[in-house]
Amino acid sequence: MTAAPLPGSAGRYRTARRARAVGLNGFALIIALVTLFPIFWMISTAFKPSQEIYSLTPSLLPTHPTLHNFSQVMSGQASGIGSVWLFFRNSLSVTLATVLIASLLSLLASVAVARFRFRLRASFLIMLLIVQMIPGQALIVALFLDFNRIGLLQNLGGLVIVYAAQALPVSIWMLRNFVATVPKELEEAAAIDGASAPKIFWRILFPLVMPGLVATSIFSFITAYNEFIVALTFLGQAHSEYTLPIYVTYFFNRGGAQWGPIMAASTLYTIPVLIFFMIVRRRLVGGLVAGAVKG
């Protein structure tokens, strides 16, 4: 009446456990599929001919898959401002330049912060925490007027300067933890063996903080590749300088509901990041969590 008879209880316990495992896995599967669905839908739409896109009963997969949307995007016909490859190149060069500059500057600064005790060190760290919170939309007015004055508005170089500076606070904050974990004894031993300071830096410190540099590079990469408000404001009508997000936005705002080509452009914008992220996944999670949990 009250409880299961003793002999059967182990079996029942096992059944209950299995039921729970099935439930848990089913729940997990639903979450994963719902999460993946928008990306799937974007890619699926990109391969659909327009009569299928606007069909009254949408189908999950394209019944007559076509590359027409992609060819329209690549020829520049659909957007009217140029081939997607032009904007891809713009985005890529801005992103790579940002990653390089931000990595170098933040590595130098994080060595200073992690290896030296100096006056204003704590103030500097607190300043980093505060400036990383200042939103782009608060500074955009001043940045716009400044860069207008120095003539770097409709210019990819101007974007690199802003992005690199924006990536610095978080990069320094993350990287200093990695520098701090490199044992000082290694550097001391190298110095005793007669290695010069630059040599110690490149041969010992640099390889050891490489995982940290990968993590911060990913962060600068996201900052630059996704950045919207500064590019939107700076680039204005300079179509040939557009980065991918501004190109997609322009395309989107042009109207005419060209959802096939727009989804093709979005797919081409998104897929490289997704591939990149799957490759660096392991490091990414560790680095980001270290950054987030520690500050």
Partner 1 sequence: MADTVQGRRSGRPALRPPGQRHSGQRPAGPRAANQSAQARAAAFIRRHKIAPYLLLAPALAGIALVLLWPLVQVVLYSFQNLGLPQLTGAAPTQWAGLSNFSTTFADPEFWLSLRNTVLFAVVVVPLTLVLGTLVGLLLNRLGRKMAAFVSAAALLAWATPPTAGAVLFYWMFNPDGGLVDWALSKMPHWLVGSTNWAQYNWTTTGAVQAYTVVTLLVLWTSFPFIAVTVLAGLKTVPAELYEAARIDGATPWRALRRVTFPLLKPIFLVLLLLSVIWDFNVFNQTYLITGFPGNQNEYNLSLYIYDKAFGFPPSYGLGGALALIFTAILLVVTVGYVRSSVRQGALT
Q: Scan residues 73-92 and list those touching partner 1 (CB under 8 A).
A: none
Query: Taking CB under 8 A as the rule, does residue 138 contact partner 1?
Result: yes
- 186 is a site residue for partner 1 (CB under 8 A): yes
Q: Which stretch binds partner 1 (CB under 8 A): 4-12, 26-34, 63-71, 208-216?
A: 26-34
Q: Which residue has the tokens 């520098």?
A: 179
Q: List, in order, residues 6 or more apart from 242 with CB less than 8 Å away.
A: 81, 87, 90, 231, 235, 250
Q: Is 122 in the site for partner 1 (CB under 8 A)?
A: yes
Residue from 58, 65, 80, 157 in contact with partner 1 (CB under 8 A): 58
Q: Which of 1, 184, 237, 256 binds partner 1 (CB under 8 A)?
A: 184
Assess contact for 73 and 84: CB atoms under 8 A: yes
The answer to the question of residue 285 lying near partner 1 (CB under 8 A) is: yes
Question: Binding of partner 1 at residue 61 (CB under 8 A)?
Answer: no
Does the protein bind partner 1 through residue 161 (CB under 8 A)?
yes
Which one of the spans 7-15, 65-73, 77-85, 192-200 is the region binding partner 1 (CB under 8 A)? Answer: 192-200
Confirm or reject binding of residue 4 to partner 1 (CB under 8 A).
no
The answer to whether residue 295 forms part of the interface with partner 1 (CB under 8 A) is: yes
Angle 60-66-69 from CA coordinates, rounded to 5°: 100
CA 163, CA 58: separation in Å to the nearest integer? 40
Distance set, CA 106 to CA 38, 98, 168, 173, 248 (Å): 36, 12, 6, 9, 31
Q: Which of residues 5-24 bind partner 1 (CB under 8 A)?
A: 24
Q: What is the 3-state secondary structure (H, E, C) of 137-150?
A: HHHHHHHHHHHHHC
Among 155, 229, 239, 254, interactor with partner 1 by CB under 8 A: 229
Query: Can you say how many angstroms the Cα of residue 124 is from the centroid of all Cα atoms in its chain?
Result: 26
